[in-house]
Amino acid sequence: MNFVVFDLEWNQCPDGKEKENPRIPFEIIEIGAVKLNSDREIIDSYQGYIKPQVYRWLHRRTKELLHMEYKDLRNGGRPFKEVLQEFFQWCGSECSFCTWGNQDLIELQRNMKFYGVLHWLPGPVFFYDIQKLFSICMEDGRSRKSLEYAIDFLSLKKDMEFHRALADARYAAEVLQMLEFPVVMEYFSIDTFQNPRSKKEEIHISYSQYEKYVSREFQDKDRMLKDRETSSVRCPKCHKMARKKIRWFAGNSKSYYSLSSCQEHGLLKGKIRVKKTDHDTYYAIKTLQLVDGEEAASVMEKRESLRKKRLTRRQKEKEA
């Protein structure tokens, strides 16, 4: 199996957000990629420029980062579908995608949907987030640092200009080469731009220290949160039901937390992220993670802080 590390550069509406096309706020103008074999040796590279069709001028920020003019893409770029088809053919059928962060994969699918070719990349898409893997291998597992930070941290040579697709793809590939391979292979990521629709398509994944569940779609958010599978808490080690110490509570309208205890393996922190689709349905991404006492205390503090804020707000409403 090969690894394809890719990076995208995109343009946005030069006249401001209020005039952008909401279906494609970021229009891809460059694809750069590096292919590695199963030993993580670089064996090939790809670069393709795309002629803009939605935004006919480059945003000021795009020109500053890429040192590129619209005429360069108008004269040297090709249609999106033509470049994308060539890129996928170059990737081959047996490859795993790798990116620095998850934004590139989201925007790739958004552009594909706009041009009517999303079926070329069936989802949900499993991939390797090198930014996350760098944090797991080299730092605390939570921080998300820039690509240049990682290059400096690993004392890798900076001989290419950042913010060009092929250069950033190569830099990300060099970071990938430095990470522990067993960790890389275990902690793959899931992109849910194309989320599960039915019970049959739901995703259950067990990592060494936590579990992830991606639910089917629900018409109603409250019904989703009350669903047995969404609200249940099982230990990621033994998969037995855990005893809830703090039941699910809202951090905000998009996230919910809980604290539970497994008799054999200790404390578990639960988090549910509520996602809304383009067609106004909901799905949940639930993670259950074994935590220490300090992390458990932070969940308790969060609940107490929210309780106090609600109490203060109610008192002010009564006084008004």
Structure confidence by residue, pLDDT tens digits, 122-177:
999 999 999 999 999 999 988 999 999 999 999 999 999 998 999 999 999 999 99
Q: How far apart are CA 174 and CA 156, in angstroms?
A: 8
Which DSSP helix (H) or strand (E) runs through 270? Answer: strand 266-276
Q: Give yes or no for a contact between 286 and 213, defined as CB atoms under 8 angstroms apart.
A: yes
Q: What is the mean pLDDT of the chain?
A: 94
251 plus 297 within the same structural domain = yes
| Angstrom distance (rounded) from CA 147 to CA 149 | 5
**pLDDT for position 320:** 67
Counting the structural domains of the chain, the total is: 2
The Cα 289–Cα 265 span in angstroms is 11
Domain coverage including residue 88: 2-186
For residues 96 and 115, membership in a common domain is answered with yes
209 and 125 within one domain: no
Question: CB–CB of 272/230 below 8 Å?
Answer: yes
| Single residue among 186, 207, 223 that ends a domain in this structure | 186
Residue at 40 is within a domain: yes
Judge if 213 and 182 occupy the same domain: no
For the chain, give the number of residues: 320
* Closest to 250 in 3D by CA, of 294, 311, 302: 302
| Residue 135, domain CATH | 3.30.420.10
Give the pairing of strands 125-129 and 26-36: unpaired
Whether residue 181 sits in one domain with residue 214: no
Residue 230 lies in a domain: yes
Do residues 178 and 154 touch, judged by C-beta distance below 8 A? Answer: yes
Instruction: Examine the domain organization and report whether 170 and 54 are in the same domain.
Output: yes
Mean pLDDT split into 10-residue runs, the chain, 320 residues: 97 92 96 97 97 92 84 92 98 96 98 98 97 96 95 96 95 97 92 96 92 97 96 94 96 94 96 95 97 94 91 80
Q: Using an 8 Å Cβ cutoff, are 106 and 191 in contact?
A: yes
Q: Radius of gyration (Cα) for the chain, nearest Å?
A: 22
Is residue 168, in this structure, part of any structural domain at all?
A: yes
Q: How many CB atoms lie within 10 A of CB 284?
A: 24
- Phi, psi at 202, each rounded to 5°: -55, 150
Residues 35 and 180 in one domain: yes
**158: Cα within 13 Å, side-chain hemisphere:** 12
State which of 186, 205, 238 marks the end of a domain: 186
Q: Report yes or no: 30 and 9 within 8 Å, Cβ to Cβ.
A: yes
